[in-house]
Amino acid sequence: MNTTSRRKFLQTSAVGAASTFAAPAFLRGQNLNEKVRVAIVGMGGRANAHAESLVDLEKESIAGVELAGVCDCDEAKRRSAEEVWGERSGHKIETYDDMRRVLDDSSIDAVTFATPNHWHSLNVIWGCQAGKDVYVEKPGSHNIFEGRKMVEAARKYDRIVQHGTQCRSSHNIIEGIEKLHEGVIGDVYFARGIAYKIRGNLGKHAPRPVPAGLDWNAWCGPAPVHEFSNFQHRRWHWIWDYGNGEIGNQGVHQMDILRWGLKLDSHPIQASSVGTNYMQEKVHQSSAETPGVLSTSMKWADGKMIEFEVRDWYTNAEAGFRDKYPFVQKDFPVGTIFLGTEGTMIFPDYSSYYTFLGRDRQPGPSAFEEGSPISNLPHFRNWVLAVRSRRREDLSAEIEQGHYSSALCHLANIAYRVDRTVKFDPQSEKFVGDAEADALLTRPEREGFVVPTAV
């Protein structure tokens, strides 16, 4: 398939895909000494963690990786990334103004996506169809239908796809989950997650001309093209067409730990959510759409339950989060709590756990690191080594795990939006007798950026 036809194919997301594609360059001729050449798409805030990790991995002989290119539809971001990461890496960084040029480049073996949520699933699908291995930011999908499609693409094209829930690569979090599974607090009967982050006034939508150098059509991609404003461009997490609110932004990390700790490898059968956007709508008079306060309960077929709560304004702490066990962002209580028949366990950040045993809450096993660091580098190292081994089971956060954790955030939001308890069929990934809720499993198609039913 030549460059022109492949680009046309990718633009239309036609059913089916190329039946063959070139093997990654480092595998051609089985020369494992070749470097894995990686390009980053979407040079916003999270891209810095991608680039920094890849540049650090260039120094490790075990990884054998090279940050080869950066891509953004915003010229200013693209040029800045080229300069900064070219200097940091000590070698030339290629630039791309369109991710399809990255996918057409046979010298690129793998792609990381740090784009907004509304692009994530199509990023993964296009990357897999082009024969690239993929790292995608959290949440892996904008909605449940698209999440399943990215898993299907990873399987069909046998790609190594890592989801950006970095706690899966934190040695302390791994140790804590192992202790939990070994029964350190007895039988776990309930778990709870919280994400309390003061968000302040998110501002109002004030349309203005698209800045020079920004391809707004490409930025919107599979989402509707709204009038440009800094609110749309910068506050996309809080707009339904582009983001998934705080539960999809921060909460997906804690949802993932809840699932992992409870050994939940299926969807829940029931979800309830009650919330409000009072601070943004009434106090700040902001244009934010997603709830700033959200309380969610979910139940699985085996009777296990979780709760999750989001707050975006002044709040008390919980279980010592923030006040006794600071998060990497010091002012915000964020974490997970597990309740068992013999005690409790908490994960107050990305790199610590603590246990409290018996009625007197005697300290049990624990592990922590000063500063509660985020495990970016270990997570990228894990991905690159799995790219070399060609074993998806080596991944800390394989994309199907990302799909299940992201789906919890989507289910919470759907229950909030329809304003009632919803029943869900884990096998069909549809709601039970609820057409209104089913309509929120996906979104209207946009020509040129269709997420295909058959990948």
pLDDT higher than 90, residue 177: yes
pLDDT tens, residue by residue, 238-276: 999 999 999 999 999 999 999 999 999 999 999 999 999
Query: Is residue 238 within 8 Å of residue 310, measured between CB atoms?
Result: no
Residue 180 CB partners (closer than 8 Å, separation 6+)? 188, 261, 338, 345
Give the list of residues 6+ apart from residue 150 with CB closer than 8 angstroms, or none: 120, 121, 124, 125, 128, 136, 140, 141, 161, 399, 403
Q: Provide CB contacts within 8 A for 197, sequence distance 6+.
A: 246, 250, 311, 312, 329, 332, 334
pLDDT of residue 32: 54
DSSP letter for 74, please.
B
Supply the pLDDT for residue 22: 56
Q: Please give the pLDDT value at position 435.
A: 98
pLDDT of residue 10 exceeding 90: no
Average pLDDT over residues 311-339: 92
- The reported pLDDT for the residue numbered 327 is 84
Write 325-333 long-range contacts (CB < 8 A, 24+): 325/349, 325/352, 325/354, 325/368, 325/372, 326/372, 327/372, 328/371, 328/372, 328/373, 328/374, 329/197, 331/198, 332/196, 332/197, 332/198, 333/194, 333/196
What SS3 state is found at 425?
strand
Going from the C-alpha of 327 to that of each of 318, 349, 352, the distances in angstroms are: 12, 5, 10
Residue 4 has pLDDT above 50, yes or no: no
Residue (of 80, 68, 41, 45) closest to 221 by Cα position: 41
- What pLDDT, on the 0 to 100 scale, is given for residue 31? 53
Domains of the chain: 3-167+377-398 (3.40.50.720), 171-373+406-428 (3.30.360.10)
**Count of beta carbons in the 10 Å neighbourhood of residue 417:** 19
- Report pLDDT for 5: 39
Structure-model confidence comparison of residues 288 and 371, the more confident one: 288
Side by side, which strands form the sheet with 36-41?
94-96, 65-71, 36-41, 110-113, 133-136, 161-163
Q: Which of 248, 246, 212, 244 is nearest to 228 (CA)?
A: 212
DSSP 435: H
Q: What pLDDT is attached to residue 33?
A: 59
Count Cβ atoms within 10 A of the Cβ of residue 216 and give its class: 0-12 exposed, 13-18 middle, 19 or more buried.
middle
pLDDT of amino acid 375: 84
3-state secondary structure of 319: coil
Q: Give the pLDDT mean for 410-414.
A: 98
pLDDT > 70: percent of the chain: 93
Name which of 112, 101, 119 is nearest 67 in CA terms.
Answer: 112
Helix (H) or strand (E) holding 49: helix 45-58
Query: CA 354, CA 341: separation in Å to the nearest integer?
Result: 16
Taking 50 as the threshold, does the pLDDT of residue 87 lie above it?
yes
The predicted structure's pLDDT at residue 34 = 87
For residue 39, give the amino acid letter: A
Q: Report pLDDT for 193.
A: 98
* pLDDT of 28 strictly over 80: no
pLDDT of residue 46: 95
| pLDDT tops 60 at residue 429 | yes
β-sheet bridge partners, residue 32: none
| HEC sequence for 132-197 | CEEEECCCCCCCHHHHHHHHHHHHHCCCCEEECCHHHHCHHHHHHHHHHHHCCCCCEEEEEEEEEC
Judge whether residue 301 has pLDDT over 90: yes
pLDDT of residue 372: 76
Q: What is the per-residue pLDDT for 67?
A: 98
CA angle 64, 65, 67 (to 5 degrees): 160
- CA 315, CA 313: separation in Å to the nearest integer? 6
Residue-wise pLDDT tens digits, 192-221 = 999 999 999 999 999 999 999 999 999 999
Asked if 392 and 386 touch (Cβ cutoff 8 Å), the reply is yes
Measured distance CA(84)–CA(65) in Å, rounded:
18
d(CA 41, CA 379): 18
Mean pLDDT of 375-398: 97
Distance CA 245, CA 165 (A): 17
- The least confident of 11-20, 41-50, 108-117, 274-283 is 11-20
**Mean pLDDT for all residues in the chain:** 93
- What is the full DSSP assignment across 200-226? ---------PPPTTB-HHHHHTTS--P
* Higher-pLDDT residue of 80, 30: 80
Q: Is the pLDDT of residue 17 over 80?
A: no
Residue 313 has pLDDT above 50, yes or no: yes
| Residue 295 reports pLDDT greater than 70 | yes
Total Cβ atoms within 10 A of residue 2? 8
Position 27 scores a pLDDT of 63
pLDDT of 14 above 50:
no
**Rounded distance, CA 395 to CA 390, Å?**
10
pLDDT one-digit tens code per residue, 431-453: 999 999 999 999 999 999 999 99
The residue count for the chain: 455
Residue 346: strand pairing partners: 337, 354
Taking the complete model, does pTM exceed 0.85, yes or no? yes
